[in-house]
Each structure stands twice: as structure tokens, then as C-alpha cells.
A and B are shown apart, each in its own frame.
Chain A
Amino acid sequence: MSKSVVIKGGTIVNRGSEIKSDVRIENGVIVEVAKNLKADVQLDASGCIVTSGFVDLHAHLREPGREEAETIETGSRAGALGGYTALVAMPNTDPPQDSIAVIDFVREQGKRAGLVDVVPSGCITLGRQGETLAPMAELAHAGVTLFTDDGVGVQNASLMRRALEYARGLGVTLAQHCEVAELTEGAVMNECQCCTDLGLPGWPAIAEELMVFRDIELVRMTGASMHFLHLSTERSVELVRAAKRDGLPITAEVTPHHLSLTQELLATYDPVYKVNPPLRSAQDIRALKIGLLDGTIDAIATDHAPHPRRDKEMSLDIAPPGMLGLETALGVVLGNSELEIKDVVALLSWNPARIARIDAEHGRPVAIGEPANICIFDPDLAWSVDLERLASKSINSPYVGRTLRGKIRHTIFKGTPTVIDGQAQK
């Protein structure tokens, strides 16, 4: 029997309601929502929002294969500190998540860490090579609901069509990293005036938009459901908006960094700002924010991509793309959008839980009888991102030294506090 926990003095934010109340949890379930509750463990939530734990659709946990950068345990801890209770693990591990053995391993490592639900995604193609389909049915029967070759897009249109048709039969969702590879060979940053000045090979917006367009049409043709990963350009948002207007089963995410950082940062020559897709223009950021407000974009996902320090100390062209995101997502989102709290929670929890099809356990209301996957955050607390305090094994965060507004205070996973007063509990 786990200890009973009470969350005291916070404001509970659920879909369509906002109430001040205490919450009591026993055996992983919310058992009471009322004033003046008592329990074995008391968590102070005064001035804080109490809501469902966040769900990240896009975390690179690097295990197996690149444990120097991150492990499932360290990534889970970073997630808990960021208010997450579930992380969808991206499949570009080594070996990749294209077999039952690897899927099971990732899930088991997640359970062993016991800080969040680690939800392995599966590869669309074997080895993420873009040549033959991965055993999707086998993986689907093992519980995989989201398939992606993230890191690369599926280039072959015919293969992507087959993948979508096959996925429709299985009732699973494909998630695409939209990048036409022929247009981004050697690319380091967005193709823009800054890129012209720096003499770097550009990553043109159209390389993303062409694949968004292609896949929207393939969805229209096949009827399968599709999720677009880390959209970054104005035109991508417009394409998805139009597709949704047509009623297509499409969802989309953006990252916190694509909402807050612009291409001009590459002029610092610091590879911490190299990310794929690249940081874009202020105009693209405005379009992404409008997409969040009008519902075109369903989720904010971190694309948490740890890299060891020595890899990020290489030159811009050689350094691998990617930045940390789990511990800073909430602060970056609150500080860089005009969203209301309930919309932020929808984008970080309710919607991604539905897209990952884990909405029986996550993204639930804070209400009696519901599973206790909860995060409690202070939306106004300003804090400085301290390199020494990052739980991730890597330090490639562009926000180190910056001040963010909004911080996780407590996280509760299956009824047990994983974070109390900003401190990881294990």
C-alpha cells in the first residue's frame, strides 16, 4: 500500500472547469476532491495549478545505444522534473525500435526507472532505412500505437502510401518527420538572409512543406491517420489547417524551441542552436503561435534530443542537431505564448495523450476515481536554467542561463510523488 498523498491549496484545471480544492490520492487513484483534506504526505500547492501530468509525444531517450547522451532513467527523471508522467520514446535508438525485443526492452527500462510511463514508438521502416516496412502488425499487437522514422522522413512516396494503408488496417497512427532529404543535403540552418551571410548550406522551408503536402494527400487517399512531428514553417501550418478543414484525420505538434528561438542565433556559431528542423524566422514563429490558438496545432512536444558535450563542441556542420527540452518546456511555452493555462495543459497533456492513445491513463481530469498522474506548477515563478541542476545526462539546452517563467513544483506518477518542491524523489 502506497502512502496517501494530499495536494493542498491549488487550483485544479480540468477541461471546462477551474476550482480551488485539495486533492487526496490513495493507491494511485484520486479518492477525494474537497477542502481541508489530510494525508500521510502533504504537498503545498498554494498559488499553483493542479492538472493532469504532461505527455511528451517526442522524446529521444537514447537507450539503447547512446547511453553516453541519456538513459531511459535520466531522461525519465528530466521528464518528471518537467511535469511529465508519460514520454513517447523515439525509435532512433541503436538498435532501432523496429522489433519486439527492443520495444520490450525500452518499456521495461521505463518501468525499472519508475518515474514516468515510457511509451515506445515503433519504426515505420526496418532500421529506419526507408526501404521496407517494419513488422508493424507485430509491434502493434505488442501495444505500439505510434510509428515513425523520426530523424528522417520516409522519402519514398510509394512506400509511405503502403505504410499508411497498412497502418489503417491496424488502427495505428504514423508520425512523419517532414524533410525531403534531397533539398537539405549538408544543411545546417534555415535558408534565409542570415544563412546567406554565414555561407552555410540552407535547409529551405519547402523541404518540410513538400512532404507535409505529399502526406496530406496520401492521408486523403488512404484514410489512415497521421501525426506531423515538429512543424516549423508558416506554410506547413497553412497546409495542415486546410487539411483539417477538409476533415482529414491529421494532428500536428510544434516544439517549444520553434516557438521561442529564431534562426539568427546561429550567428553565434554555437552548435547548441543547431536543430532539425532548424530554427526559423520570427514570421514562422508568429504563424505557429496562431496555429496553437486556432487549434491547427494539437500538441507541444519537446523533441528532447540529448547529445554529449564533445559532440556539441564540434563545428556547426558536423555537430549533430538537437537540443534538450523536457525540463524547460513549460517555462518556455508560458513565456512565449499568449495561451491561457487550460490551453497550455491541453497542448502539453490532454491532446498528446489522445494522439498517443494513452488517454485511459494520462491526460485525465483531476477528479474522483481517476488515475493520479498529476503535475502541479507555479505559472508565475521565474527561474534561471542552471546547467548544474539539469537532470538530463547532457547539457545541450539553449536555455541555460536564461530566465523562464513557470516552473513545475510537484509531479505525481501513479499516485507517488516523483518530484516534490522541484526535487526529483529518486
Chain B
Amino acid sequence: MKHLRSIDELGVDGLVALLQLTDHMAEINQRPVPKVPALRGRTVASLFFEDSTRTRLSFETAAKRLSADTMTFNVSTSSVNKGESLRDTVATITDMGVDAFVVRHKSVGIPWQISQWTKASIINAGDGAHQHPTQALVDCYTIREATHESRFDGMQITIVGDIKHSRVARSNIQAFSMLGAKVTVVAPPTLLPPDLSHWPVQINHHLDEVIPTSDVLYMLRLQSERMSQGHVPTLREYSEQYGLTQKRVARLKDSAIVMHPGPMNRGVEMQIDPSDVKNSLIHRQVANGVSVRMAVLFELLGSGSSLGGQA
């Protein structure tokens, strides 16, 4: 595998293999010294053109635990000069000797464009509303860990919120379906893509209808600018219809899991403290982020090296 740009590109076999490899990484992370020399001499550059805390830190931690060198190219959105210098930036960093780029950008397709300008591997850490494949891997791994099921056959996963603008939703719908889950998306029609009849999902506009039958309830973040764009009238109305409240939590199955990719909008889609939700996996999602990204880096860059030894 050369790049990880989308879940599609990974395919079901690649997905399963990465989840299995993540088990090894999780084991390394349990050690007193959670570091191995597997990627010694390799360099991973983070190219973040969009603000991110957890994803960037998660990748950098993962790279360091595998003994890779890291460099960070942090571009505040204000100084992204209309993307003009992107090709030059990539060329410059490539010349420094980089084996992989971890790329986040507000624009769809940037990881594919960059992969034409460099020989390095590209890992998509989020491109616009398109794909965020490592988040989907994290979420699959987290569900797998909680349910002890490697396949999700028959599992009812409900994704709630701004599907239209969500790269997490696009990657997760593909990944969950590949593993056999039945996915339902819940949102007002304005927050759904205009035509999703070809997606392997059920559509429901009423959260309360699907609460009792959901095995996994996946809450998406609602960005406040969706109001000014006319997608929802008010945040209050949205959170009444689609927010997770104590009342809704009470109607969940006992075994149901609650997830959120973060960062949470308290008082909007989360009207309740996640620690008050019995089966919230939100903290596991963060914790597993490092192991999953270690697996991805090792898969792309670790050919020929082993996971043994101490760094």
C-alpha cells in the first residue's frame, strides 16, 4: 500500500488488515516504554492547512512511537495564499527527504493532487467534506474493541447530524458498510447531500424513531455557520430535534454505544456530558487514535522492518 487517501482505496481487505495491525500497536502502547525502532530513519511531515489538534498530535505521537522523525508544516488558514504555493511547498519538503506526508486541507482532492507532485506516501488526514480515512479506522477499531466483534454484520449504526458537510460521515459510511453494518443517517434534508440514493444507507429525519434500535449512535459536530447558510433555522431548534439529551440516552438500548469524532459542541449536538452516558466511547476514540495511526504509518513505511526491539 502506497497511500491512504480514502476508505474506498483501502478496500475491505486493507481495512481488516489495518485493524488487526492496530492490535499490535495497542499492545506496544501498553508497554512501560511505548516506543519501537520500526521506522527509524524515516521522516513523516505533517502538512496541516486547517486547524486541528487531536488528529495532528495523534499522528505525531504515532510517528514518534515508531521512532520516525517528524516535521510539522503548520499553515494557519489566513496565510494559505490561495493554495498558490502548495506545489512548491510540497516540492521543497520532498527535497528535504520525506517518506510520508500527513495532509489536512479544507479543499477536496488535495491528497490526490499532492500525490502527483511527490514520490512520498500520502495520508489523508481530512480533505474538505470528502474523506477522513484514519478517523473511520479509529471508529471501526473502537467499535471492534467494545463489542469484541471483528465484523459488524447486523449491527445498526446510526449517524446523526451534518452528513452533507462531513468527511467523517463519508469515510465512516463506507467503512461501516464494508464490515457489514446497517447504517442509518439521521438529519434534516438540508444537512443531507442532495442525492444519496446510491449510498448504502437508510435515511431518517427523526432521531427519536431510531434511538431504540441503534447499536451505535454516532453524533456529528454541527458547525454554527450552518445557520447563516440556511441549513438550520437555529441551533436551539437543531439541538431539540437532533441533540443527544438525557431523555434520549434513557431510550437507548442498554448495550448501545455513543460516539463522537470531536471536537464536541456542548449544548448543541451533545446536550449532556459524555461522562454521563454509560457506554460513551468518546475517550476510547481518542486513545485508539494513536494506535491506529501507528498501524497506518507502519503499513505504508515499514516494509522490511519488524515491530520488535526497543527504541
Q: Is A318 in contact with B83, judged by CB distance below 8 angstroms?
A: yes
Q: How many residues of B contact A (CB 8 A)?
A: 28
- CB of A105 within 8 Å of the partner chain: no
Q: Is B167 in contact with A199, judged by CB distance below 8 angstroms?
A: yes
Instruction: Identify A199's interface contact among B86, B128, B198, CB under 8 A.
Output: B128
Bound-state Cα–Cα, A97 to B266, Å: 53
- CB of B209 within 8 Å of the partner chain: no
Bound-state Cα–Cα, A202 to B193, Å: 9
Closest B-chain residue to A186, C-beta based? B229
Q: Is A196 in contact with B194, judged by CB distance below 8 angstroms?
A: yes
Name the A residues within 8 Å of B194 (CB-CB): 191, 195-196, 202, 204
Which residues in chain A, 246-292, are within 8 Å of chain B measured between CB atoms?
268-270
- CB of A193 within 8 Å of the partner chain: yes
Bound-state Cα–Cα, A197 to B131, Å: 9
Name the A residues within 8 Å of B108 (CB-CB): 188, 198-200, 269, 315-317
- Interface of chain B, main secondary structure: loop
Which residues in chain A, 281-329, are within 8 Å of chain B measured between CB atoms?
310, 313-318
Which residues in chain B, 70-104, are within 8 Å of chain A measured between CB atoms?
82-84, 86-87
- CB of A13 within 8 Å of the partner chain: no
Question: Nearest chain A CB to B117's CB is how many angstroms away?
Answer: 9
Closest B-chain residue to A197, C-beta based? B170
Instruction: Identify B109's interface contact among A202, A313, A316, CB under 8 A.
Output: A316
- CB-CB contacts of A190-232 with B at 8 A, as 1s and 0s? 0111011111101010000000000000000000000000000
Name the A residues within 8 Å of B128 (CB-CB): 199-200, 317
- CB of B195 within 8 Å of the partner chain: yes
Name the B residues within 8 Å of A197 (CB-CB): 170
Name the A residues within 8 Å of B107 (CB-CB): 315-318
Q: With A197-B170, A199-B129 in contact, do A315 and B109 touch (Cβ < 8 Å)?
A: yes
Closest A-chain residue to B165, C-beta based? A199
Q: Is B113 in contact with A198, judged by CB distance below 8 angstroms?
A: no
Q: Is B196 in contact with A196, judged by CB distance below 8 angstroms?
A: yes
Question: Nearest chain A CB to B128's CB is how many angstroms away?
Answer: 6
Q: Is A315 in contact with B130, judged by CB distance below 8 angstroms?
A: no
Name the A residues within 8 Å of B83 (CB-CB): 314-315, 318
Q: Is B82 in contact with A318, judged by CB distance below 8 angstroms?
A: yes
Question: Nearest chain B CB to A280's CB is how many angstroms away?
Answer: 14
Closest A-chain residue to B170, C-beta based? A199
Name the A residues within 8 Å of B113 (CB-CB): 269-270, 313, 315
Question: Nearest chain A CB to B112's CB is how many angstroms away?
Answer: 4
Closest B-chain residue to A191, C-beta based? B194
Instruction: Identify B195's interface contact among A188, A191, A314, A317, CB under 8 A.
Output: A191
Bound-state Cα–Cα, A192 to B198, Å: 11
Question: Nearest chain B CB to A45's CB is how many angstroms away?
Answer: 43
- CB-CB contacts of A167-196 with B at 8 A, as 1s and 0s? 000000000000000000000100111011
Q: With A315-B108, A317-B107 in contact, do A196 and B195 touch (Cβ < 8 Å)?
A: yes
Question: Nearest chain A CB to B71's CB is how many angstroms away?
Answer: 22
Q: With A199-B167, A199-B170, A318-B83 in contact, do A269 and B196 touch (Cβ < 8 Å)?
A: no
Closest B-chain residue to A317, C-beta based? B107
Name the B residues within 8 Å of A316 (CB-CB): 107-109
Q: Is B195 in contact with A310, judged by CB distance below 8 angstroms?
A: no
Q: Is B129 in contact with A315, judged by CB distance below 8 angstroms?
A: no
- Interface of chain A, main secondary structure: loop
Q: Is A314 in contact with B86, judged by CB distance below 8 angstroms?
A: yes
- CB-CB contacts of B261-272 with A at 8 A, as 1s and 0s? 000000000000
- CB of B307 within 8 Å of the partner chain: no
Bound-state Cα–Cα, A316 to B127, Å: 11
Q: Is A314 in contact with B109, judged by CB distance below 8 angstroms?
A: no
Bound-state Cα–Cα, A315 to B197, Å: 27
Name the B residues within 8 Å of A270 (CB-CB): 113
Question: Nearest chain B CB to A159's CB is how many angstroms away?
Answer: 25
Q: With A199-B128, A199-B170 in contact, do A269 and B109 touch (Cβ < 8 Å)?
A: yes
Bound-state Cα–Cα, A310 to B130, Å: 24
Name the B residues within 8 Å of A199 (CB-CB): 108, 128-131, 165-167, 170, 193
Closest B-chain residue to A204, C-beta based? B194
Bound-state Cα–Cα, A314 to B83, Å: 6
Name the A residues within 8 Å of B293 (CB-CB): none
Question: Nearest chain A CB to B220's CB is how many angstroms away?
Answer: 13
Which residues in chain A, 49-79, are within 8 Å of chain B measured between CB atoms?
none
Bound-state Cα–Cα, A193 to B170, Å: 13
Bound-state Cα–Cα, A197 to B170, Å: 7
Bound-state Cα–Cα, A361 to B106, Å: 51
Closest B-chain residue to A311, C-beta based? B84
Name the A residues within 8 Å of B112 (CB-CB): 268-269
Bound-state Cα–Cα, A204 to B194, Å: 10
- CB of B105 within 8 Å of the partner chain: yes
Name the A residues within 8 Å of B110 (CB-CB): 315
Which residue, B128, B166, B167, B197, has most C-beta atoms of chain A within 10 A?
Answer: B128
Which residues in chain A, 63-103, are within 8 Å of chain B measured between CB atoms?
none
Closest A-chain residue to B107, C-beta based? A315
Bound-state Cα–Cα, A197 to B201, Å: 13
Name the A residues within 8 Å of B87 (CB-CB): 310, 313
Closest A-chain residue to B129, C-beta based? A199
Question: Nearest chain A CB to B108's CB is how many angstroms away?
Answer: 5
Name the A residues within 8 Å of B170 (CB-CB): 197, 199
Name the B residues within 8 Å of A196 (CB-CB): 193-196, 198-199
Question: Nearest chain A CB to B206's CB is how many angstroms away?
Answer: 22
Question: Nearest chain A CB to B131's CB is how many angstroms away?
Answer: 8
Which residues in chain B, 194-224, are within 8 Å of chain A measured between CB atoms?
194-199
Bound-state Cα–Cα, A142 to B84, Å: 40
Instruction: Identify A198's interface contact among B82, B109, B165, B166, CB under 8 A.
Output: B109
Question: Nearest chain B CB to A354's CB is how many angstroms away?
Answer: 39
Name the B residues within 8 Å of A192 (CB-CB): 195
Bound-state Cα–Cα, A315 to B109, Å: 7
Bound-state Cα–Cα, A268 to B109, Å: 8
Question: Nearest chain B CB to A423's CB is how many angstroms away?
Answer: 33
22 contacts between A and B (CB under 8 A): A188-B108, A193-B196, A195-B193, A195-B194, A196-B194, A197-B170, A198-B109, A199-B129, A199-B130, A199-B167, A199-B193, A200-B128, A310-B87, A313-B86, A315-B83, A315-B86, A315-B105, A315-B110, A316-B107, A317-B106, A317-B107, A318-B83
Interface residues, chain B, CB within 8 Å of chain A? 82-84, 86-87, 105-110, 112-113, 128-131, 165-167, 170, 193-199
The 9 closest A-B pairs by CB, nearest first: A269-B109, A199-B129, A315-B107, A196-B193, A199-B130, A269-B112, A314-B83, A317-B107, A315-B83
Extra A-B contacts (9), CB below 8 Å, given A192-B195, A315-B109 = A195-B194, A196-B196, A269-B108, A310-B84, A313-B87, A313-B113, A315-B86, A316-B108, A318-B107
